[in-house]
């Protein structure tokens, strides 16, 4: 049996989501936009899923727009605001997911201001607020970093943005199902991070916010995303959100993992609040990539950071922004827990890690 400790990349499919998916596929359902009985059956599945996602986020269902995942939701928010404003500056943190950073940089005619973080991996709310001004079209700050798990001051930044009338985009992908989803003008979720099938996600749009559609051509999703809704996988997404509200807290399990790490381990972001499932750690004289491969061969799935950056030649931009030298950034490994994680998973890792580290250190000399 393998041990899966990479839930920040993709969580395992929940049984509730699988059951909802199977039931939806077996239903006599048609196009959710059709008026006949089959269409109404599909529409009912979509709207039930919308209600479940809204309940997890603490928002009215009408604010939930379904997407194919976090990256699409971010692109829809960035381009949707950019196409409706004459302002030409976007303020983001330097440790945002690449979907935010590259998406903002790719907007033609816009200046992107990146606010740095401190060595703990946390952005200072006052420093972020100082970058805001009358020419800012949009601000973006993640709820929790996907590599370190460090929580960001979203509420404080949101208050500053509201006072200036600047929309705030929050990437809540890593907190949904683990902590309360923050309220903001635009909030992004990804279904496969919390036990739904890949290809599901949501963009929560505050009522009254003008947003141009990323995908035009249909009246679906209140004209914010054209195209027939994938009702079966959305039913699974909704079921995963409903189940996530009853998950046991992961902090105790994460603490068990960190307490048992070998001496010399450096946990990044340990001095500030983090999402309770994530441990980003470096070991002296050990390549993170080498260790992840060794762990995989031993039956344990972990990662060196963001799955979207896997295989990249450059070290983590997040750890570099925290001031780590390149060799230390390259040594980092991320262990992330999820709804299916157990004490056995943690103990299996801790039992095999010292030997793997010893062999990796010897191989590097």
Q: Does residue 65 sit in helix, strand or coil? A: strand
| C-alpha distances in Å from residue 290, one per residue of 161, 172, 331 | 43, 30, 9
308 is catalytic: yes
| CA dist., res. 319 & res. 95, Å (int) | 8
Taking every pair of C-alpha atoms in the chain, what is the biggest distance, in angstroms?
70
Q: Is 38 exposed, middle or buried (0-12, 13-18, 19+ CB in 10 A)?
A: middle
Which candidate in 57, 117, 280, 308 is catalytic?
308
Q: What is the DSSP letter of 176?
A: B
DSSP track, 148-172: T-BB--HHHHHHHHHHHT--EEEE-
Residue 341 tokens, joined? 């994680």
The single-letter DSSP state of residue 192 is: G
What is the pairing mode between strands 186-190 and 201-205? antiparallel
Active site residues: 308
């Amino acid at each position: 049996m393998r041990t899966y400790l990479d839930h920040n990349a993709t969580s395992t499919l929940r049984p509730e989501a699988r059951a909802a998916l199977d039931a939806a596929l077996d239903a006599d359902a048609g196009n959710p936009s059709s008026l006949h009985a089959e269409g109404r059956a599909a529409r009912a599945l979509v709207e039930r899923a919308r209600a479940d996602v809204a309940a997890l986020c603490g928002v009215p269902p009408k604010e939930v727009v379904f997407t194919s995942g976090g990256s699409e939701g971010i692109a829809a928010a960035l381009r949707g605001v950019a196409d409706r404003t004459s302002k030409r500056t976007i303020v983001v943190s330097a440790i945002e997911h690449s979907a935010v950073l590259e998406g903002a940089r790719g907007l033609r005619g816009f200046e992107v201001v990146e606010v740095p973080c401190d060595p703990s991996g946390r952005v200072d709310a006052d420093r972020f607020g100082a970058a805001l001004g009358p020419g800012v079209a949009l601000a973006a700050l993640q709820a929790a970093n996907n590599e370190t798990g460090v929580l960001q001051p979203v509420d404080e930044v949101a208050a500053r943005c509201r006072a200036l009338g600047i929309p705030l985009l929050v990437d809540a992908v890593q907190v949904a199902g683990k902590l309360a989803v923050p309220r903001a003008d635009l909030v992004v979720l990804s279904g496969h991070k919390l036990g739904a099938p890949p290809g599901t996600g949501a963009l929560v749009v505050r009522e009254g916010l003008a947003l141009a559609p990323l995908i035009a051509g249909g009246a679906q999703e209140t004209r914010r995303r054209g195209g027939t809704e994938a009702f079966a996988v959305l039913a699974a997404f909704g079921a995963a959100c409903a189940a996530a509200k009853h998950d046991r807290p992961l902090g105790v399990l994460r603490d068990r993992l960190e307490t048992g790490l070998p001496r010399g381990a450096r946990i990044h972001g340990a001095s500030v609040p983090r999402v309770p499932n994530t441990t980003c750690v470096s070991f002296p004289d050990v390549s993170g990539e080498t260790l992840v491969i060794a762990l995989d061969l031993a039956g344990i799935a972990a990662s060196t950071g963001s799955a979207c950056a896997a295989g990249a030649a450059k070290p983590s931009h997040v750890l570099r922004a925290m001031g780590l030298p390149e060799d230390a950034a390259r040594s980092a490994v991320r262990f992330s827990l999820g709804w299916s994680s157990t004490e056995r998973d943690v103990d299996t890792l801790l039992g095999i890690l010292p030997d793997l580290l010893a062999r990796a250190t010897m191989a590097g000399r």
